[in-house]
């Protein structure tokens, strides 16, 4: 049993170290070897993440109020609830995992901004993917889905280009954002069914 435990521990340690090496290797290729001419562009893309994620449900709900459209208002609430759920999971995960930013651990990484919070998961990426996924679920049309995910993916890439997140931070952020949208949708559907049963 002791031999088995030691073997499992060794294998897990090997995979963790290998994953960390791949993580920093990819980030080095993206950040250190980047084309600095794109720095302003990716800074701009990064800075759209939170404002657009916040503004989308607010603007949609306002339109719903003006047009007296309850469907639009419900969809706006869904997108807003997804954003809040994603933000909650992201903040909680950062405080639990407490992963340092890549430029703190690896001096070779060149940060284009200094962030105050922990690294895992990427909050900008989770917000962007929460908005993109919830928008796509609310309006499942190609002209909504494609631009939404191109934007969200660009936000994720920008976090690596700017040297403030590892690829795994971005991947987990995307999963948190998208997962929040699907779980929020399921929760709303469950609550609606429960209300319908209570009304009978």
Q: Provide mean pLDDT across the span 180-188.
A: 95
Within a domain: residue 2? Answer: no
Within a domain: residue 17? Answer: no
Residue 115: per-residue pLDDT: 85
Residue 19: per-residue pLDDT: 65
Query: How many domains does one find in the chain?
Result: 1
Cβ-proximal residues to 110 (8 Å cutoff; 6+ apart), any chain = 31, 32, 103, 163
Contact by Cβ (8 Å): 151, 132: yes
pLDDT digits (tens, 9 = 90+) for 104-137: 989 999 999 888 889 999 999 999 999 999 999 9
pLDDT digits (tens, 9 = 90+) for 11-48: 444 444 456 788 999 999 999 999 999 999 999 999 99
Within a domain: residue 103? Answer: yes
CATH, residue 47 = 1.10.606.20
Cβ-proximal residues to 178 (8 Å cutoff; 6+ apart), any chain = 129, 130, 132, 133
Q: Model confidence at 200, in pLDDT bands (50, 70, 90)? A: low
* Tokens matching residue 96: 């639990």
CA dihedral 20→24→30→33, nearest 10 degrees, is -160
Q: Give phi and psi for 162, each to the nearest 5.
A: -80, -5
In this predicted structure, the answer to whether residue 58 has a pLDDT above a threshold of 70 is: yes
Within a domain: residue 16? Answer: no
Within a domain: residue 59? Answer: yes
* Tokens matching residue 36: 């600095």
Q: pTM higher than 0.85, yes or no?
A: yes
Q: Provide mean pLDDT across the span 149-157.
A: 98
Within a domain: residue 37? Answer: no
Q: Provide mean pLDDT across the span 176-187.
A: 96
Within a domain: residue 5? Answer: no
Within a domain: residue 148? Answer: yes
Residue range of the domain that includes 91: 42-199
């Amino acid at each position: 049993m002791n031999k088995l435990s030691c073997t499992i521990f060794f294998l897990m340690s090997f995979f963790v170290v290998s994953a960390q090496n791949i993580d920093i290797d990819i980030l080095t290729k993206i950040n250190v070897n980047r084309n600095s001419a794109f720095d302003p562009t990716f800074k701009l893309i990064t800075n759209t993440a939170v404002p657009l994620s916040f503004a989308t449900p607010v603007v949609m709900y306002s339109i719903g109020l003006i047009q007296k459209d309850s469907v639009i208002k419900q969809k706006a609430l869904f997108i807003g609830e997804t954003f809040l759920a994603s933000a909650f999971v992201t903040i909680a995960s950062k405080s639990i995992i407490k992963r340092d930013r890549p430029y703190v651990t690896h001096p070779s990484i060149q940060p284009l901004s200094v962030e105050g919070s922990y690294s895992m998961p990427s909050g900008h990426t989770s917000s962007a993917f929460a908005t993109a996924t919830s928008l796509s679920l609310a309006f499942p049309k190609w002209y909504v889905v494609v631009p939404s995910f191109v934007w969200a993916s660009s936000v994720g890439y920008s976090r690596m280009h700017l040297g403030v997140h590892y690829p795994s931070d971005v991947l987990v952020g995307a999963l948190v954002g998208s997962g929040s949208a699907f779980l929020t949708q399921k929760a709303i559907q469950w609550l609606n069914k429960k209300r319908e049963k209570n009304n009978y």
